[in-house]
């Protein structure tokens, strides 16, 4: 047991990039609950509130979030669809099931580099001979935990044909 002060609490588990970087993940009916985040020119406005709402639903259902996986789908400059992985049905939630193969690549750094990461991801996926149907981002830790760990990992996943 560590003597961590409350201000030093870490809420996100440490992320291991080697498990996801340059990998193909196959999902067969992986269950998620869906919510939306409002954005202004791609900057999230209510991400924390939406995550708290989802967390409350998961806790009330005595469910868990496998791998702490939460995918973001940036649909426009004004919206992000969030998909939170769950291990069971959550009442009063929109359930989405993902099946198929997803190519994953891990990036590390400041969020301002997201545009560069997306271009690199698209280039990498084409080089590997894949075509991506949809792209998702997984922000593996909250900003406070990223600062405490000294790493800000983001995984880009593309559903491949």
Say if residue 150's pLDDT is above 50. Answer: yes
Q: For position 111, what pLDDT does the model report?
A: 87
Residue 98's contacts (CB-CB under 8 Å, 6 or more residues apart) are 27, 29, 30, 32, 83, 159
List of E strands, the chain: 23-40, 43-44, 70-76, 79-85, 94-108, 132-139, 153-160
Q: pLDDT tens digits for 55-84?
A: 999 999 999 999 999 999 999 999 999 999
User: Beta-carbon neighbour count of residue 22 at 10 Å?
Assistant: 12
Q: C-alpha distances in angstroms, 15 versus 73, 109, 140?
A: 20, 14, 7
Say if residue 4's pLDDT is above 50. Answer: no
Q: What domains lie within the chain, and their CATH numbers?
A: 18-160 (3.20.80.10)
26: helix, coil or strand? strand
Bridge partners, residue 159, by sequence: 102, 134
User: Beta-carbon neighbour count of residue 8 at 10 Å?
Assistant: 10
User: Quick check: 126 and 72 in contact, CB under 8 A?
Assistant: no
User: Quick check: 117 and 156 in contact, CB under 8 A?
Assistant: yes
Q: What is the pTM of this model?
A: 0.90
Q: For position 9, what pLDDT does the model report?
A: 62
* Residue-averaged pLDDT of the chain: 92
């Amino acid at each position: 047991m560590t003597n961590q002060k409350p201000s030093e609490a870490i809420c996100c588990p440490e992320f291991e990039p080697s498990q996801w970087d340059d990998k193909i993940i196959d999902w067969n009916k992986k269950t998620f609950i869906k919510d939306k985040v409002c954005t202004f020119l791609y900057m999230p406005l209510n991400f924390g509130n939406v995550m708290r709402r989802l967390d409350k639903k998961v806790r009330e259902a005595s469910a868990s979030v496998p791998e702490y996986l939460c995918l973001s789908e940036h649909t426009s400059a004004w919206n992000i669809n969030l998909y939170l992985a769950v291990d069971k049905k959550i009442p009063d939630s929109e359930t989405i099931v993902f099946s198929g193969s997803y190519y994953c690549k891990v990036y590390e750094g400041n969020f301002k580099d997201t545009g560069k990461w997306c271009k690199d991801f698209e280039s990498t996926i084409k080089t590997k001979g894949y075509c991506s149907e949809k792209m998702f981002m997984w922000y593996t830790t909250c900003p406070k935990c990223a600062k405490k760990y000294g790493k800000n990992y983001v995984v880009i996943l593309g559903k491949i044909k």
